[in-house]
Structure 1
């Protein structure tokens, strides 16, 4: 468990394929990718004790959602790119963490045994389910497909710059409801859904979303920091990449830049280039 300290960021690299566990661009799926220097490959560790057992929750550093177990079998991969699934069980997805007793987001880190320092991610509800990589064209031992090398990601000294808006290349534009709330300098905010204000946002640009919120709140653009909260039990995740390619409502908590909350230990920016 020392490889998964609470609040740290990690990458999970497949021992067999060398690919990384990635949050998919739609903000809901999980995939495998060779790209290492990506926020989609970074996972924030959320440790949890429940009923005397210790669990590891993995939260996407890109979109804030939690690695969870799907209730139906994941589709098999095709072609050369490996697909992800939980072995002998339903596949992994990204989900909001909404209920105190929610168990589909619970995982247990287990040493693989034998030579090396590989780890397994066993689901906390179903001890026969392990996250692994599979490809149609390989002949690797099934047991080793569930082996992961855990790579620690150091924190950045400063928050990254927001990506510049990209001109739309197609006539169809994604839109979603943004539910937002303003936090005080200590990070306190009203958690009740009725405390949220809402508006329709078109596109995916986090830069433009920050601009809209700065106008609505009548604050300086660089004076606020946006965090996404994926579920009532989810921790805050700094929003520094463009929004996922879906039209689902996003819950945004607005912090004051430079405040104790924005500089606290919980809001860590992983240095994915390290």
Structure 2
């Protein structure tokens, strides 16, 4: 009996060692990280969607009373919130806390600096954008109009290019910090759906959205353009496609952010006026 148990333990360790070699040699090796992270992002999107559906059915009474389209949007916004927390945290780390893109680093041009972790984070984000764009197109226009398709397409293309080429990781992360506004935007939808449009929480949420959008999607974009100006010579060393993306995609997103900011300001004024 003891000999049989030892054999089982040895067999288990053998399989474990083989699995670790497989992960290190293929799934987490530099050449395969872009592909495995994108596929992983898509799979995680599917798993989180199913979990959101399951958990919401048992723990949120209001979920049962929603229409099919509303339940789909509920689950979709849950996933976008989780993705936003993940990618904005990673982006803040690389832009402000990591030494990877420091001007004092001797690691070469900052426009070509990257690590396995930064590539992995961008890959997961690409997987999310692909999945969410497919969902938006499939349910069009229930989950968003043309502006959402344009936003996801531009973001997905720019992030995918940066991930596969290793160029412009810094500026990609600067733009992705704007995802920090997504959780509060989604919270507003949840409050509205729950019939809490006249609550204090809804008012506070509107104020938080205003300041978060101002900082993350207006001022931060201005800082990014200024950073590109200061490091223009390094940006010019990028491939022409990367050079064009660094300028055109953030500019297009900045214009959209300004348009949405105008709507946010208008909505906040209405909410404040109703309470006075």
TM range (shorter): under 0.3
Structure with the largest fraction of strand: 1
Give me the TM-score of the superposition, normalised by structure 2: 0.24
> Which of the pair is proportionally richer in helix?
2
